[in-house]
Amino acid sequence: MNTTKTPRCAVLGYGSWATAIVKTLTVNHHHVDWLVLNDDIRESLQMRSLNPKYLPWCYINQEYITASNDINAVVRDADIVFLAMPSAFLKKFLEPLTEDISSKIVVSAVKGIIPGDYLTIVEHMNRYYDIPMENLAVVTGPSHAEEVGQCQLSYLTVASEEVATAERVRDALANDFFRCSISNDVLGVEAAAIMKNIYALAVGMAVGLRYGDNFLAVLIAGCAAEMKRFIDEAVPFEGRDINAAAYMGDLLVTCYSPLSRNRRLGTLLGKGCSVKSALNEMTMIAEGYYAAECVRRSSMRRNIDMPIADKVWEVLYEGASARDSMQALIQVLR
């Protein structure tokens, strides 16, 4: 593996978050091999230095990118591989992969769960691609792609069981606007990144139902307590600070910001849309839809009290109304 300060990077995915990561890496003068399966987007990047569908105002310096639809060519010479596609599409993206990536650093920038398998991205890559845990990392924290793409100040966390791996990823990403800390609580920060999407759905429902800021504050406080209870039980870790940016910060920005796609999905449900019509109206994947089923299964298996996540699941999968579910939560929130 190349151990210089300027690693060659690969980014798999071409949505908003992938584009923002590529922007950050190229600002740092790292060469990026970029897997872009959409022909129109790839042509636009080559001709106009823009992704016309996702962050279309975000200029990408062509000098530092090679866009391709061949995953094996993209990862072949990479030292660090960033996974930045929606979790629902990860298997499809990786299906043609024949190159051995087990000796590379593989970074999950996916804040979701593998639908149907109920595995986190790190667990999936470790189990099915034989990537040792010391080569796996997660980048997470309060960050909207739109702001990162505009080079607005953001604070993120890189987590890996191996400190040297986290430091390599941090050094590739960090600059004046993309601040990075490191952690070895890999499963904890990954779980928080998954769960905050469920809670943004709950907050969105309350917004759609026209509850005010006073109630939203109580609801989000309840979400924070519930998230801590689940993470501490499901993935115990000594010394975890649930108030750190990777946990609490990510929860707050996802719940409060109108840029949050999960909050937007919840808002549509709160306004009376059916789950099917709300999902159809979304232009991007809302990871909380898949996360709700996984967390429901996990909490029931462990007998963890999760009233907020349970109500979100009932709306998404049992046909419960957002109004009735929120009325039920009012009785248990303090």
Contacts of 95 (CB under 8 A, 6+ apart): none
Assess contact for 175 and 188: CB atoms under 8 A.
no
Assess contact for 168 and 105: CB atoms under 8 A.
yes
Tens of pLDDT, residues 167-177: 999 999 999 99
AA identity, residue 273: C
pLDDT at 2 over 50: no
Assess contact for 26 and 47: CB atoms under 8 A.
no
pLDDT at 3 over 70: no
Tell which residue, 264, 289, 8, has the closest CA to residue 144: 264
Percent of residues, the chain, with pLDDT higher than 70: 99
The total number of residues shown for the chain amounts to: 334
Greater pLDDT, 6 or 58:
58
The Cα 112–Cα 193 span in angstroms is 7
Confidence of residue 286 (pLDDT cuts 50, 70, 90): confident
Comparing 162-176, 182-196, 285-299, the range with the smallest average pLDDT is 285-299
Give the per-residue pLDDT at 212: 96
Assess contact for 290 and 210: CB atoms under 8 A.
no
Tens of pLDDT, residues 115-156: 888 889 999 999 999 999 999 999 999 999 999 999 999 999
Confidence of residue 306 (pLDDT cuts 50, 70, 90): very high
Give the per-residue pLDDT at 94: 97
Confidence of residue 210 (pLDDT cuts 50, 70, 90): very high
Give the per-residue pLDDT at 28: 96
For the chain, the three-class secondary structure string (H helix, E strand, C coil) is: CCCCCCCCEEEECCCHHHHHHHHHHHHCCCCEEEECCCHHHHHHHHHHCCCCCCCCCCCCCHHHEEEECCHHHHHHCCCEEEECCCHHHHHHHHCCCCCCCCCCEEEECCCCEECCCCEEHHHHHHHHCCCCHHHEEEEECCCCHHHHHCCCCEEEEEECCCHHHHHHHHHHHCCCCEEEEEECCHHHHHHHHHHHHHHHHHHHHHHHCCCCHHHHHHHHHHHHHHHHHHHHHHCCCCCCCCCCHHHHHHHHHHHHCCCCHHHHHHHHHHCCCCHHHHHHHCCCCCCHHHHHHHHHHHHHHHCCCCHHHHHHHHHHHHCCCHHHHHHHHHCCCC
Q: Read off the tokens for 295.
A: 């967390």
**Tokens 């990536």 identify what position?**
101
Percent of residues, the chain, with pLDDT higher than 90: 91
pTM: 0.93
pLDDT at 233 over 50: yes
Q: What is the mean pLDDT of residues 61-85?
A: 97
Comparing 33-42, 63-72, 281-290, 316-325, the range with the smallest average pLDDT is 281-290
pLDDT at 82 over 90: yes
Active site residues per annotation: 196
pLDDT at 27 over 50: yes
How many CA atoms lie less than 13 Å away from 180 in the CB half-sphere? 21
pLDDT at 314 over 80: yes
Assess contact for 246 and 309: CB atoms under 8 A.
no
Q: Are strands 113-114 and 119-120 parallel, antiparallel or unpaired?
A: antiparallel
Average pLDDT value over all residues in the chain: 94
Confidence of residue 5 (pLDDT cuts 50, 70, 90): low
